[in-house]
Amino acid sequence: MPTIQSLLDSADLPASPSARLDAELLLAAALGKSRSYLRTWPEHEPTAEQLAAFEQMLERRRCGEPVAYILGHQGFWSLDLEVAPHTLIPRPDTELLVETALQLAPATPRRVLDLGTGTGAIALALASERGGWRVTGVDRVAEAVELAERNRLRLGLGNAEFRRSSWFAALAGERFDLILGNPPYIAADDRHLGEGDVRFEPASALISGADGLDDIRQIVAEAPRHLQPGGWLLLEHGFDQAGAVRALLAAAGFVAVESRRDLGDHERISLGQWPL
């Protein structure tokens, strides 16, 4: 029978940029163990059922399916979140939104809105760090709202809530101290849409018009009606869109407009404050 070590050494995932990590995550899931178990017991021989489960997951990964969808969960911030094909997979770059929000706003009670919440990742990360904040996440997809609520219940975060809304459509008359989100920002003809994990993610959460900015334009235009004076708007965008997003924010009347860089040194989010 093959051992853990031999299975990892022979795992064939030629198209994956993180083949070894993928194999470790999938084998750990097949065994019902942690990745540290693989390193501690490399000579362990999995059962026939475990081998079959591992090979099935490897085949799905060979076909390009993201590991997060195969496993059904993904880490984000300090949380482990359920994921599903009708939502984007939370990514490390998006944690910059969480970090910036925590820096900008004091720990005193605040109302916060997460637009296009998906799995609830951003909203739940903020709720986990700021017990006094009331965090609302909205998404136009009913299944995403249900998924975010399942994540909230499992994490036991009573200061977050999720509702169905296409951006601000169901929020008439409500104002927030902080609005943030990771809206669609990829141009319809972007070649990257046919590559890697994004092939399996929902196009509606990725594509936003000819230049990728349609949803950001709408959010920037409507956000002032939902921000308290002195409140902040923070938006994730493409690595080459920062200048355009800053211009939109400034034209809409926001002040203190700036962009911040992600771990890859790309301008990944832009933000502005609604005047007092």
Q: pLDDT category, 194, cuts 50, 70, 90?
A: low
86 Cβ contact partners less than 8 Å away, ≥ 6 residues apart: 141, 143, 144, 147, 202
Q: pLDDT value at position 205? A: 66
Look-up: residue for tokens 């938006």? 235
Q: pLDDT category, 197, cuts 50, 70, 90?
A: low
Lowest mean pLDDT among 92-96, 107-111, 258-262: 107-111
Q: pLDDT value at position 11? A: 92
The hierarchical CATH code for the domain 76-273 is 3.40.50.150
Q: pLDDT value at position 210? A: 76
Q: pLDDT category, 67, cuts 50, 70, 90?
A: very high
Domain borders along the chain are 4-64, 76-273
CB-facing half-sphere around the CA of 127: CA atoms within 13 A: 24
| Helix or strand (DSSP H, E) at 135 | strand 134-139
Mean pLDDT (whole number) for 104-117: 92
> Is it the case that residue 59 has pLDDT exceeding 80?
yes
Q: pLDDT value at position 185? A: 76
Q: pLDDT category, 16, cuts 50, 70, 90?
A: confident
> What's the chain's Rg over C-alpha atoms?
20
Q: List phi, psi (to 5°) of 91.
A: -120, 155
Q: pLDDT value at position 186? A: 79
Q: pLDDT category, 179, cuts 50, 70, 90?
A: very high
Q: Can you read off the two tokens belonging to residue 107?
A: 């720990």
Mean pLDDT (whole number) for 137-144: 96
Q: List phi, psi (to 5°) of 13.
A: -135, 65
Count CB atoms within 10 A of the CB of residue 40.
11
The hierarchical CATH code for the domain 4-64 is 1.10.8.10
Exposed, middle or buried by CB within 10 Å (0-12, 13-18, 19+), for 68? buried
Q: pLDDT value at position 151? A: 98
Count CB atoms within 10 A of the CB of residue 241.
23
Q: What value does the mean pLDDT of the chain take?
A: 92
Q: pLDDT value at position 211? A: 83
Q: What is the pLDDT of residues 221-250, one digit of tens each?
A: 999 999 999 999 999 999 999 999 999 999
Mean pLDDT (whole number) for 173-179: 97
Q: Can you read off the two tokens belonging to residue 123?
A: 């909203």
Distance CA 218, CA 136 (A): 19
Share of the chain above pLDDT 90, in %: 79
> Is it the case that residue 195 has pLDDT exceeding 80?
no
Q: pLDDT category, 192, cuts 50, 70, 90?
A: low
Burial call 191-226: b when 16+ CB within 10 Å, e when fewer? eebeeebbeebbeebbbbeebbbbbbbebbeebeeb
